[in-house]
């Protein structure tokens, strides 16, 4: 099977990875194998890609594998790709997950008002999934995800109370089930609801595009869901934090970064800085991304790459990194501190390249799983194994390139008075 080839092709953990994981309070650790299980919202490969990107860019020495096993239309009973008792043995167990996330519910409410039968089917089916997972992999760490919302905020509900009321009822059950079984639980519904409300206040027309079909969030909205899961897993906002005294030409503090070669100049300050992480790969030019950033705490909670420079003469200063202009700031603004994570920097460019490769590896896995493994499962075709192996080998090359791309690099900083 393909999973054996992928495991055989997996890269050896980098030196020091175990120590880095031991020192980190983050939920994931080196050697973890994460499987995301769910319906089409998981199948979109967006919040799951965001989580991969965070791990790669924020903890570049952590060795974790990720598998997306979301299938559109799935319910707690399964769907077109097979019933749950087919889905789990084929799409989860073979990857020997140490971590499993489950998000189901959007299809289970049948897009109509809640009934006792709908509620009973969902709760019993969800318990069956959990029982099966615990029996097969008793050591796996399971995170239950309360269903993401149906958008009854930026558009009028289709019936009294709205369909998201059903998602909230499902969420309450998932939370209780997690508490009863001492499991990690993440709420996707509440933060998405809050973000949509703020976005509608800012721009009611653009806000409707965050979840364009009311079910499937676009890339910007998925970042809010990824944030919720990452915070549950202990993620922190720190990318790096550097403070410099320009008058004395010295470092006053540095966290998760190393500054060298500070040079005072008549027109400003020059230095070399190597950060130990990268900012989130956010597409800052996207109006929807800007709306979501302004309507949530995403940047405050997960993306702080701060630079503070005191002791500058009054005036405006242009910041360039590796010759690329990042922005222009007053001396007082720099003394208060700026967040490089929301500026066009080489570090952001590097993070976006990591994101590109994350999408590539997941598309390769998806092509093999959905075009070969599922539809041709019953066909005795000699080419299946060769095709699977070729795609798995190419995926591993992408993963190796991505790991290299995520490694920190030194950058040349220049502050020049305008």
Domains for the chain: give ranges and CATH numbers. 2-235 (3.40.50.1110)
**pLDDT in the model for residue 266:** 84
**pLDDT in the model for residue 25:** 83
CA separation (Å) from 336 to 198, 232, 258, 305? 27, 30, 20, 14
pLDDT one digit per residue (tens) for the chain, 418 residues: 444 344 333 332 333 333 333 344 899 999 999 999 999 999 999 999 999 999 999 999 899 999 999 999 999 999 999 999 999 999 999 999 999 999 999 999 999 999 999 999 999 999 999 999 999 999 999 999 999 999 999 999 999 999 999 999 999 999 999 999 999 999 999 999 999 999 999 999 999 999 999 999 999 999 999 999 999 999 999 999 999 999 999 999 999 999 999 999 888 999 999 999 999 999 999 999 999 999 999 999 999 999 999 999 999 999 999 999 999 999 999 999 999 999 999 999 999 999 999 999 999 999 999 999 999 999 999 999 999 999 999 999 999 999 999 999 999 999 999 9
**pLDDT in the model for residue 132:** 98
**What's the CA angle centered on 281, arms 277 and 287, to 5 degrees?**
145
Which residues share a beta bridge with 251? 244
**pLDDT in the model for residue 35:** 98
CA–CA gap between residue 141 and residue 183 (Å, rounded): 8
Q: Among residues 308, 244, 252, which one has the least CA distance to residue 271?
A: 244
Which residues share a beta bridge with 325? 320
Yes or no: say if 311 and 247 are a contact pair by the CB < 8 Å rule: yes
Sign of the torsion formed by the C-alpha atoms of 258, 263, 266 and 267 = negative
**pLDDT in the model for residue 17:** 35
CA–CA gap between residue 267 and residue 56 (Å, rounded): 37
Please enumerate in sequence order all residues whose Cβ is within 8 A of that of 169, keeping only pairs 6 or more positions apart, or say none: 114, 119
**pLDDT in the model for residue 11:** 32
What is the pTM assigned to this prediction? Answer: 0.92
**Token couple for 160:** 């009294």
H/E element, 274: strand 268-275
CA–CA gap between residue 353 and residue 316 (Å, rounded): 32
Q: Among residues 184, 69, 169, which one has the least CA distance to residue 122?
A: 169
Which residues share a beta bridge with 273? 259, 411
**pLDDT in the model for residue 23:** 43
Beta strands in 331-385 (DSSP E): 338-339
Q: Is 344 helix (H, G, I), strand (E, B) or coil?
A: coil
Sign of the torsion formed by the C-alpha atoms of 282, 49, 301 and 25 = negative
CA–CA gap between residue 244 and residue 221 (Å, rounded): 36
CA–CA gap between residue 291 and residue 96 (Å, rounded): 39
- Neighbouring CB atoms inside 10 A of 197's CB total 13
Pairing state between β 250-255 and 238-245: antiparallel
Cα 175 to its chain centre, rounded Å, is 21
Report helix angle 47-58 to 346-368, nearest 10: 130
Yes or no: say if 32 and 99 are a contact pair by the CB < 8 Å rule: yes
**pLDDT in the model for residue 19:** 34
């Amino acid at each position: 099977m393909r999973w054996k080839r992928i495991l055989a092709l997996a890269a050896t953990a980098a030196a020091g990875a175990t120590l880095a994981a031991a020192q980190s309070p983050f939920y994931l650790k080196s050697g973890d194998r994460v499987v995301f299980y769910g319906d089409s919202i998981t199948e979109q490969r967006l919040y799951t890609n965001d989580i991969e990107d965070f791990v790669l860019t924020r903890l570049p020495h952590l060795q974790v594998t990720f598998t997306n096993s979301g299938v559109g239309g799935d319910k707690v009973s399964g769907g077109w790709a097979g019933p749950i008792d087919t889905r789990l043995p084929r799409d989860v167990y073979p990857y020997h997950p140490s971590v499993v996330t489950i998000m189901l519910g959007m299809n289970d409410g049948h897009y109509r008002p809640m009934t006792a039968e709908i509620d009973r089917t969902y709760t019993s089916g969800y318990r069956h999934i959990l029982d099966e997972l615990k029996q097969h992999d008793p050591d796996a760490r399971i995170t239950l995800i309360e269903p993401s919302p149906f958008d009854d905020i930026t558009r009028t509900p289709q019936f009294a109370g709205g369909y998201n009321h059903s998602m909230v009822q499902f969420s309450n059950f998932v939370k209780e089930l997690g508490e009863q079984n001492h499991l990690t639980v993440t709420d996707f519904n509440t933060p998405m609801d809050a973000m949509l409300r703020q976005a509608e206040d800012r721009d009611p027309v653009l806000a409707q595009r965050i979840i364009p079909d009311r079910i499937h969030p676009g890339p910007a909205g998925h970042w809010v869901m990824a944030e919720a899961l990452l915070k549950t897993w202990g993620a922190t906002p720190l990318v790096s934090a550097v403070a410099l005294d320009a008058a004395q030409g010295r470092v006053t503090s540095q966290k998760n970064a190393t500054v060298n070669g500070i040079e005072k100049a008549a027109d400003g300050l020059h230095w070399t800085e190597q950060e130990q992480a990268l900012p989130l790969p956010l597409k800052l030019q996207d109006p929807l991304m800007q709306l979501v950033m302004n309507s949530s705490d995403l940047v405050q909670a997960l993306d702080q790459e701060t630079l503070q420079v005191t002791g500058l003469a009054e005036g405006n200063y242009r910041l360039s990194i590796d010759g690329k202009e990042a922005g222009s700031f007053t001396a007082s603004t720099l003394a208060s501190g700026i967040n490089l994570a929301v500026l066009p920097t080489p570090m952001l460019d590097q993070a976006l390249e990591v994101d590109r490769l994350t999408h590539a590896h997941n598309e390769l896995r998806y092509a093999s799983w959905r075009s070969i493994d599922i539809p041709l499962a019953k066909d005795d075709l000699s080419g299946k194994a060769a095709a699977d192996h070729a795609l798995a080998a190419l995926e591993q090359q992408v993963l190796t390139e991505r790991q290299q791309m995520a490694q920190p690099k030194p950058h040349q900083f220049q502050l020049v008075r305008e």
